[in-house]
Amino acid sequence: DVQLVESGGGLVKPGGSLRLSCAASGFTFSSYTMIWVRQAPGKGLEWVSSITTRSSYIFYADSVKGRFTISRDNAKNSLYLQMNSLRTEDTAVYYCARARTAPTGDWYFDLWGRGTLVTVSS
Amino acid sequence: SYELTQPPSVSVSPGQTASITCSGDTLEDKYVCWYQQKPGQSPVLVLCQENKRPSGIPERFSGSNSGNTATLTIIGTQAMDEADYYCQAWDSNTVVFGGGTKLTVL
């Protein structure tokens, strides 16, 4: 089956760290740009970070820049998000998603994982 | 930074046509896609631009994108279409989502 499975979420205190993983299967992971998107409880979708196929280009939302680090291991078909200096406002379900390139060169996202919940609370 | 604006909620009767708008500066120059999210589930891509639907998405979903507004249209709305819908565009290497619209079928 073509799927993405996130893991690594949990409860962490403010200022703490957590590393999320996203395991890909059923497709050639190394051929796709990947992203992380989060959704705070009862709120909308917020893009977090993107990484291209060979990790050549990496982008972050301003809200996480300097605190979060995205990476990937194509040999392990895995995507990661290292989250440091966590804040209460980082509490959310974190989704990984596969990017496709539109004819215009824009990105859109055709495959999403089920998400992993990160709760930042003292 | 680029912003996309959606109405918080839209209501429609079963069998009628639902329209959900998404507004942004010169949005017609961007490739706009729409995602459906049902409670407790992850987002699902339903449409890009006018009629680019992934496999398995019904033909009752269609779209338009002109000027500053993109619209997702559902013709013959069914109860199963009740969900949150998000528009999405890409701008200057950032991914932008609209705030989401809750579609109620009643």
Provide the pLDDT for residue A15.
Answer: 98
Retrieve residue B72's tokens. 């997702």
Q: Which of A51, A95, A107 to mutate to test the interface with B (most CBs of B within 10 A)?
A: A107
| One-character DSSP codes across A11-61 | EE-TT--EEEEEEEESS-GGGS-EEEEEE-TT--EEEEEEE-TTS--EEE-
Contacts of A16 (CB under 8 A, 6+ apart): A86, A120
> Is the distance from CB of A10 to CB of A90 less than 8 angstroms?
no
Retrieve residue A8's tokens. 């690594």
The verdict on A41 touching B (C-beta cutoff 8 Å) is no
Percent above pLDDT 70 for chain B: 100
Pick the closest to residue B1 from B84, B72, B97, B71 (CA basis). B97
Residues of chain B with C-beta less than 8 angstroms from the C-beta of A45? 35, 37, 43, 86, 88, 97, 100
Predicted confidence (pLDDT) at residue B50 exceeds the cutoff of 90: no
Residues of chain B with C-beta less than 8 angstroms from the C-beta of A44? 84, 86, 97-100
Provide the pLDDT for residue A95.
Answer: 98
